[in-house]
Structure 1
Amino acid sequence: MAGHFKETIFITGITGFTGKHLEDYFVKQGFCVYGTTFSESYSKNHIVCDILEEKTLSGIISNIKPDFIIHLAAISFVAAADQKHIYNVNIFGTLNVLNAIERLEYKPKKILIASSAAVYGNIEGALSEDMCPKPVNHYGNSKLAMENMVRPYFNRLNIIIVRPFNYTGIGQENHFLIPKIISHYVKNKKEIELGNIDVYREFNNVKFVIKSYSELLFSSTKSEIFNVCTGHAINIKSIINSMDNLANYNIKVKINPKFVRENEIKILKGNPQKLFSCIGDFSTEISMEETLEEMYNNIS
């Protein structure tokens, strides 16, 4: 990767969970990293911008002239209340980014756009890219619509779309499942309310996702959609057991019917064959136990 030093990477949503990890990763690799943030900026390289404001966004990208672009900015919480805003940001915000790029006097080397495994909906088993997506919520629907709107740009720009499965790590907000569980142990809570814990899901480390994004960004592949997954699903009960051992006490799990999804499937994981054939398999570099310990020792 040494040949890429001093090149510029532009990340929309740079102050989000994934954006922070990406920025840290690429800065350590020697890149100049800029990005947009919706909230107040505390860094000269973070520019306050609503991606729905196409003219402002276009001016920012034109001034920075990035070599690579990673588009993360989105409404990413499935339970977000404002349904229209989910579609506006996730679809039209993405189109604003691509339209701004097309106004540049050059073509960036690669554009990576984050979709989501939520496009698959409640399909049982190991999900592969050749399956027909069947989203079951507004978030998944907005991401699938976004993908369909991006495809016409494949002929004009070097684009990769990624569908990450569940991932976690230091800095993820506590309304997500794994940070919620860990925060209860950090606070020495005796009880936790959860939904169905007898299901299997991927919970990959954000470091795996960051490395996957980086490898895809610098690969020669374009005009493709990739699952970003390991194919390793873990039972939520086993996460509780691991945390019991880590925190040296047993928490009581109370099943709250409000958190139990109707017709919830037993096993949901991705098929990583396409991803691994492109960038290799480094899925075993960090275990679930290591992830939990890292988060437990660093959660706020």
Structure 2
Amino acid sequence: MEVHSRKIIFITGITGFTGKHLEEYYSKRGFGVYGTTFTEPSSSNHFKCDILEEEELFKILNKVKPEYIIHLAAISFVAAKDQKNIYNVNIFGTLSLLNAVTKLDYLPTKILIASSAAVYGNIEGELGEELCPQPVNHYGNSKLVMENMVKGYYDRLNIIIVRPFNYTGTGQENHFLIPKIVSHYKENKKEIELGNINVYREFNDVHYVVKCYTELLFSKFKSDIFNVCSGNAININYILSVMNQLAGYAIKVNVNPKFVRKNEIDILKGNPRKLFAHIGDFTNEFTFNNTLEHMYNENRI
């Protein structure tokens, strides 16, 4: 395997939802893109690796010698049953990566680490980085602990931490809300079980997130935390109305109490002021209606 010494990007969790979109984006732009996967690799640029294995990671990184690293590998589903594994992977997997990087004989230009807006918890309104995080589940708490541990590497490595708010797109698994809704319409189902459909949440396009990550990755900024958000909250009812139009029929919504979170707040969105001040505002390049349309038309006969 030929590995070039420049313009190499390394992505942990490269076969996940976001990883696939990042790999496609950078590959089209001439970068050498490599990464880790927990399953058997289908590409010569992918390495099967448990990110908890520091020495294994070091050997891969030492071979690839990436200039940029994007750390995505995590337990990302809030309802994951193995709670100990959430903390193990999300915290110690990240530390394993950073420890492996510190053993390299060079300093990567930038490391972007994906945290989550889940660190904020159930705080009403528009959430900015200055707020004190109050996570309400194991996933959010694991990400907050991870952030605090990563700050200890600021003096040795060039790191940016991102807190993405909800985003979606083609290839996201159906246990997430938007793919679940779209899949019901694609399968022409007449009914769907949902939780509270009157809430407002951000649902950005994964391509918007890719662009934000890219701008931050290649920026001069380091040792900082950024919300990756648009500040645009969308009502679930609106999503259903758009899908009704796309599919040509109205689905029946059954509210399942199991899906309604206790003390659920009406509006939750990110404050993008800091993000926009540093990389600009390009939200007008992406519309949620187009996102839904692409997801609905993907692989349809």
Match of 2:237 in 1: 237
Residues 6 and 66, structure 2, Cα contact 8 Å, conserved in 1: no
1:145-191 CA distances to partner (integer Å, 9 max, x unpaired)? 00000001111110000000000000000000000000000000000
The RMSD of aligned alpha carbons is: 1.2
1:45-60 pair list within 5 angstroms = 45-60=45-60
Distance 2:228 2:293 in 1: 23
Q: Residue 71 and residue 238 in structure 1: after superposition, are their counterparts in 2 closer, same or farther (change >3 A)?
A: same
Q: Which amino acid aligns with 1:254?
A: N
SS of residue in 2 equivalent to 1:284: helix
Partner of 1:42: 42
Partner of 2:150: 150
Structure 1 residue runs of 4+, over 6 Å off? none
Q: Report the AA paired with residue 223 of structure 1.
A: S
User: Contact 1:196/1:260 (CA < 8 Å) preserved in 2?
Assistant: yes
Aligned length: 297
Matched, 1:166 2:166: yes
Structure 1 residue 61: Cα displacement:
0.7
Partner Cα distance (2:68, 2:42) in 1: 23
Residue 55 (structure 1) shift: 1.0
Within 2, Cα distance between the matches of 1:144 and 1:6?
Answer: 33
Which 5+ residue runs of structure 2 have no aligned equivalent?
Answer: none
Tell me what 1:270 maps to: 270
The match for 1:213 is 213
In the alignment, structure 1 residue 184 sits paired with structure 2 residue 181: no
SS state at 1:155 partner: coil
Aligned partner of residue 119 in structure 2, secondary structure = helix
Secondary structure at the aligned position of 1:258 is classed as helix
Does the CA contact (< 8 Å) of 2:124 and 2:265 recur in 1?
yes
Aligned-partner residue type, residue 141 of structure 1: N
Q: Aligned partners of 2:130 and 2:179: how far apart in 1?
A: 32
TM-score by length of 2: 0.97
In the alignment, residue 271 of structure 1 is paired with which amino acid? N
Indicate the percent of aligned positions where both proteins have the same amino acid.
Answer: 70
AA aligned opposite 2:248: N
CA contact (8 A) 1:117 1:227 kept: yes
CA distance in 2, matches of 1:112, 1:85: 22
Contact 1:228 1:272 survives alignment (8 Å)? yes
Counterpart Cα distance in 2 of 1:298 and 1:154: 41
DSSP-derived class of the 1:172 partner: coil
- Alpha-carbon separation, structure 1, partners of 2:287 and 2:111: 30
Deviation at 1:32, TM superposition (A): 0.2
Specify the alignment match of 1:123 in structure 2. 123
Does residue 137 of structure 2 align to residue 137 of structure 1?
Answer: yes
Q: Unpaired runs of 5+ in structure 1?
A: none
Which residue of structure 2 aligns with residue 254 of structure 1? 254
